[in-house]
Amino acid sequence: MVEKVMSMTSAAKLVKDGMMLALGGNALHRSPVAFSRELARQGRRGLAAVGAAPGLATDLLCAAGAVDTVYFGFFGFENEYGLAAGFRKGCQEGRIQAIEGS
């Protein structure tokens, strides 16, 4: 049987620049932040992120400059914290193309 367990570093190496990435979780809940942090640490660029309600993990990638396009329904941190800051700043600076699809 082939071993399916791998390190976070090895898993992140499977994601290449320019890929479309759908991360799990929803807003502030069940978000794979450690994985996104590793992608950012490895210097990924040109990623497209997709999610109904992308969360903290996707916002981290936006803030790190790894994402240039986001397909989403709502991108924020519920009522407590407002819009996702990394995403918002990237859009305002023209680094991220926002494609909303409710």
Q: What CATH number does residue 85 fall under? A: 3.40.1080.10
Long-range contacts of 3-12 (CB under 8 A, 24+ apart): 8/34, 8/35, 8/38, 9/38, 9/42, 11/35, 11/38, 12/38, 12/39, 12/42, 12/44
68 has a pLDDT exceeding 90: yes
5 within a domain of the structure (yes/no): no
Instruction: State the pLDDT confidence band at 42, using cuts at 50, 70 and 90.
Output: very high
Q: Quick check: helix, strand or coil at residue 63?
A: helix
Range of the domain at 38: 16-100
Q: pTM (2 decimals)?
A: 0.92
How many domains are contained in the chain?
A: 1
Lookup result for tokens 């082939």: 2
The H or E element containing residue 62 is helix 56-63
pLDDT range class, residue 24, cuts 50, 70, 90:
confident
Q: What is the mean pLDDT of residues 20-39?
A: 91
Structure confidence at residue 14 as a pLDDT band (50, 70, 90): very high
